[in-house]
């Protein structure tokens, strides 16, 4: 059964207030014990949406120009602050598409992502983008097996490229690649150098999906005290930590998070747009609701899933088939009484509905009584308990469809003919 | 193209050694900077596999007896230490199935999960299980809207139930429900009381998926100093932190993690078995490989996906369609030279293969040269670069199938007729 009457989840605000009221600190529950120190940007982050760059590196992605424009327009309308596009150096059409999207005049700023070389930077700036994201591998393994450059060479080129892009009046981000397998001294020295060269953002990238939230927190917190510019973060999801890592980065002072719709990207992808927002709305509901058109998330996910020919995973956050389904009797009873008992997210914020199962051996009499009510059949608690035993006995033998259960409910009510039963 | 020759990922061991060699601490990379303090159990955790309990609460799950036995047997063979079953109180068949699985003599210990009451405990013990997992909601919201019991009543019953189960020679776990929205003093007092009553494990449960890794770390680390028994943890995945939270719990001293196959459970489920192992193998490869038959993971996931009628998500860790696919030219080049450049997991550990894309506008000449080699066509670097331009030009216009690209490669090679070209 669907229930629409979920009030907003009542979470005491912890951000910004430091938990102090009337001069006394308020006691906190364990889930509220996050740092609300001045570094934390969990209530003021920005999204760099990379479905059109990282997402194009997903196995199935082939975007024609029209598709790219459709996705970019939808993302800008959704409210993401930046849209990142494939390098114009990748192919002639990539370049033409980049130029076309820059001319759309979208609200979101347009970025493109290129290698940290003067050649790539020049092509990038010429497309008319608002900003250029440059990147180079800094771990020993990438230096040995990918580009064979020393840290001194990397630093020298990075400074030249950053300065040149800034001289063109264009925003610039410098990111290391494989940051978490890079030497920390090398990393911090490089970031400090590009910061001094006028970089708008430095990027920390977990290119292989190896980092854990505590490692992310530690690195970003250290970096926060080294550079004065913004800090962008990029997390692959190989070990399923991409959302938690993004959250930890924001807690430590990062300012920007890279996402893609459904997380698509190289291998099993990066921090998904929906997953990040599910995480962040718990902590910063006002901020998230004020910036992003959450009810449009499902439409954008369906669009991208269709383009890259995948199914939205059954367990996708928020929009997955089962994200708001409740089944065990104990859960259903409490959800019927007060949805916040078993929901930290409010489906109505996202334009989706909850679903309470009543056709299984795990069902409880509260769900059955509620279903009878939806069918216009009024029964007592005692009758509901008896009826539930019958339904559980049937569901113990075979899977029950909703129609099966509804038939059992109707037949039970006919049999018991309560005097005040509406005739139907 | 598939490449099979991945050597094991060479990660310097950090667990157990404390990073000290020849009396000197070794410098560490950022991803190695986790705590290797004595509390951490990242190298000695146990899995409580709950596909047959939490997983039965997934919207689509209907398990007949034969299916339950098949899943339980596969999980035990895989190597999980515990298998948790639906409460025998849920329905007569649930009880009969629980008894049947106890009689199989599986290597894994069999648990069942019941409400914290004497009535449920007695039914549970009578089934012949190795252990009983009892649970009760401790947050104010669950106490108000679910069971209406005070903390004093909860504590009194919990002590009685724990003592009685122990008196029957059966293992017992006491878990709070919604732990992260419970009062910390209430929680710790209750855990301390059941620990003193002889509990084998206390359970911390993020029932609504609200917690973040740093909150988990803090709570479990505090709890570790309060109780002497083992600590089990259970994380829902509503905000996509379930794997990171389980990892943080182990770092903080938890001993057991609840999982389900593909993460199935209420709403969008809990920490998935495969996701947890993907995370843990990075840190503790020897431990994970010694205990679990990783090459069987895909078979178990396919079995469960089939039973509950879902597709394995395209982005599932390890076994997802794209988990080991590489597409961008820079990635492919490095993967061909050394897979560890862009893979922190080794597909051969899991009996799966990597895939390097060569049919897209993002491809690079190294991937094309390698593909030509697979076709028995030897070309020079210069020829490969020229050929790659042709392929990228085609892929810029429309999606290319593998056959299309292979045709372009063959036709190019015919045209250029290198003298040493094998005739085919």
Question: Nearest residue of A to residue B346 by CA position?
Answer: A238
Do residue B334 and residue A179 have CB atoms under 8 angstroms apart? no
Same domain for A291 and A339, yes or no, is: no
Q: Which of B162, B212, B148 is nearest to B191 (CA)?
A: B162
Distance CA B150, CA B140 (A): 9
Is B138 in contact with B151 (CB distance < 8 Å)?
yes
Residue in B90, B238, B337 closest to A344 by CB = B238
pLDDT tops 60 at residue B423? no
Q: Which of A306, A334, A364 is the last residue of a domain?
A: A306
Question: Nearest residue of B to residue A146 by CA position?
Answer: B334
Residue B14 lies in a domain: no
Question: Nearest residue of B to residue A91 by CA position?
Answer: B361
Residue B29 lies in a domain: no
Same domain for B174 and B274, yes or no, is: yes
- CB burial class (10 A; 0-12, 13-18, 19+) of residue B102? middle
Per-residue pLDDT tens listing for chain A (424 residues) = 434 443 333 444 444 444 555 667 778 898 886 656 788 999 999 999 999 999 999 988 999 999 999 999 999 999 999 999 999 999 999 999 999 999 999 999 999 999 999 999 999 999 999 999 999 999 999 888 888 899 999 999 999 999 999 999 999 999 999 999 999 999 999 999 999 999 999 999 999 999 999 999 999 999 999 999 999 999 999 999 999 999 999 999 999 999 999 999 999 999 999 999 999 999 999 999 999 999 999 999 999 999 999 999 999 999 998 899 888 888 888 888 889 999 999 999 999 988 888 888 888 899 899 889 888 899 999 999 999 999 998 899 888 888 888 889 999 998 886 555 444 4
Same domain for A268 and A337, yes or no, is: no
In the residue annotation, B331 being an active-site residue is answered as: yes
Do residue B29 and residue A180 have CB atoms under 8 angstroms apart? yes
| DSSP state letter for B42 | T
Same domain for B203 and B330, yes or no, is: no
Q: Which of A33, A268, A272 to mutate to test the interface with B (most CBs of B within 10 A)?
A: A268
| Interface predicted TM-score (ipTM) of this complex, two decimals | 0.90
Same domain for B139 and B255, yes or no, is: yes
Residue in A29, A248, A324 closest to B180 by CB = A29
Same domain for B373 and B279, yes or no, is: no
Do residue A59 and residue B325 have CB atoms under 8 angstroms apart? yes
Is A258 in contact with A312 (CB distance < 8 Å)?
no
Residue A366 belongs to domain spanning? 323-413
Looking at beta carbons, which residues of chain B come within 8 Å of A334? 142, 145-146
Taking only the tens place, the pLDDT of each residue in B61-87 is: 999 999 999 999 999 999 999 999 999
Do residue A91 and residue B392 have CB atoms under 8 angstroms apart? yes
Catalytic residue among A113, A256, A331, A357: A331
Count structural domains, chain A. Answer: 2
Looking at beta carbons, which residues of chain B come within 8 Å of A253? none
The tokens for B413 are 């090679």
Task: Give the list of residues 6+ apart from residue B288 with CB closer than 8 angstroms, or none.
Answer: B277, B280, B281, B294
Q: What does the pLDDT read at residue B4?
A: 40
Residue B21 lies in a domain: no
Looking at beta carbons, which residues of chain A come within 8 Å of B190? none
In A186-331, which ranges are E strands?
Answer: 201-206, 230-235, 256-259, 325-326
Residue A33 lies in a domain: no
Alpha helices (runs of H) in B168-212, residue ranges in sequence order? 184-196
Same domain for B298 and B336, yes or no, is: no
Distance CA A147, CA B369 (A): 18
Do residue A266 and residue B213 have CB atoms under 8 angstroms apart? no
Catalytic residue among B113, B247, B331, B357: B331
Looking at beta carbons, which residues of chain B come within 8 Å of A190? none
Q: Which of A97, A241, A316, A392 to mutate to test the interface with B (most CBs of B within 10 A)?
A: A241
Task: Give the list of residues 6+ apart from residue A371 with CB closer than 8 angstroms, or none.
Answer: A1, A358, A405, A406, A409
Residue B36 lies in a domain: no
Residue B369 lies in a domain: yes
Residue in B145, B182, B337 closest to A341 by CB = B145
Q: Which of A251, A276, A306 is the last residue of a domain?
A: A306
Same domain for A345 and A279, yes or no, is: no
CATH number, domain of B367, equals 1.10.238
Q: Which of B257, B272, B306 is the last residue of a domain?
A: B306
CATH number, domain of B281, equals 3.20.20.70
A418 to each of A212, A383, B295, how far by Cα in Å? 60, 10, 59
Same domain for A169 and A291, yes or no, is: yes
| DSSP state letter for B17 | T
Do residue A325 and residue B267 have CB atoms under 8 angstroms apart? yes
Residue B9 lies in a domain: no
Do residue B90 and residue A362 have CB atoms under 8 angstroms apart? yes
Q: Which of B36, B93, B178, B239 to mutate to test the interface with A (most CBs of A within 10 A)?
A: B239
The pTM of the full predicted model, rounded to 2 decimals, is: 0.90
Do residue B212 and residue A322 have CB atoms under 8 angstroms apart? no
Same domain for B57 and B134, yes or no, is: yes
How many beta carbons lie within 10 A of that of residue A418, not counting itself?
Answer: 12
**What is the bridge-based pairing of β-strands B24-25 and B20-21?**
antiparallel
Do residue A62 and residue B208 have CB atoms under 8 angstroms apart? no
Residue A36 lies in a domain: no
Same domain for B269 and B384, yes or no, is: no
Q: Which of B298, B235, B317 is nearest to A209 (CA)?
A: B317
Same domain for A302 and A257, yes or no, is: yes
């Amino acid at each position: 059964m669907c229930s629409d009457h979920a009030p907003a989840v009542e979470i005491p605000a912890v951000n910004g207030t430091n938990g102090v009221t009337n001069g006394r600190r308020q006691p906190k529950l364990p889930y509220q014990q996050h740092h609300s120190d001045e570094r934390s940007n969990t209530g003021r982050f920005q999204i760099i949406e990379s479905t059109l760059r990282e997402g194009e590196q997903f196995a199935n992605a082939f975007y024609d120009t029209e598709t790219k424009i459709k996705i970019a327009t939808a993302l800008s309308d959704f409210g993401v602050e930046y849209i990142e596009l494939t390098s114009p150096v990748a192919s002639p059409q990539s370049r033409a598409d980049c130029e076309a999207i820059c001319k759309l005049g979208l609200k979101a700023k347009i970025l493109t992502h290129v290698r940290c070389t003067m050649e790539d930077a020049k092509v990038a700036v010429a497309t008319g983008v608002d900003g250029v994201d440059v990147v180079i591998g800094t771990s020993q393994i990438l230096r040995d097996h990918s580009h064979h450059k020393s840290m001194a060479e990397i630093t020298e080129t990075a400074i030249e490229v950053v300065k040149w892009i800034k001289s063109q009046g264009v925003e610039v981000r410098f990111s290391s690649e494989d940051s978490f397998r890079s030497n920390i001294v090398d990393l911090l020295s490089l970031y400090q150098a590009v910061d001094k060269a006028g970089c708008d953002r430095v990027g920390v990238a977990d290119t292989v999906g190896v980092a854990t939230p505590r490692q992310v927190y530690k690195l970003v917190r250290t970096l926060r005290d080294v550079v004065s510019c913004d800090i962008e973060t990029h997390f692959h999801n190989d070990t399923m930590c991409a959302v938690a890592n993004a959250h930890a980065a924001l807690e430590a002072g990062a300012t920007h998070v890279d996402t893609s719709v459904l997380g698509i990207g190289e291998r099993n992808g990066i921090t998904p747009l929906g997953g990040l927002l599910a995480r962040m709305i718990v902590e910063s509901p006002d901020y998230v609701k004020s910036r992003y058109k959450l009810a449009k998330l499902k439409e954008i996910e369906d669009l991208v899933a269709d383009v890259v020919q995948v199914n939205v995973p059954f367990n996708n956050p928020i929009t997955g088939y089962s994200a708001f389904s409740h089944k065990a009797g104990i859960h259903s009873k409490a959800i019927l009484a007060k949805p916040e008992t078993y929901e930290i997210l409010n489906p109505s914020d996202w334009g989706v509905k909850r679903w309470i199962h009543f056709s299984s051996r795990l069902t409880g009499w509260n769900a059955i009584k509620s279903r009878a009510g939806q069918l216009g059949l009024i029964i007592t608690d005692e009758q509901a308990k008896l009826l539930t035993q019958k339904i559980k006995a049937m569901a113990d033998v075979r899977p029950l469809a909703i129609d099966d259960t509804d038939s059992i409910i109707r037949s039970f009510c006919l049999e018991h003919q309560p005097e005040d039963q509406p005739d139907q």
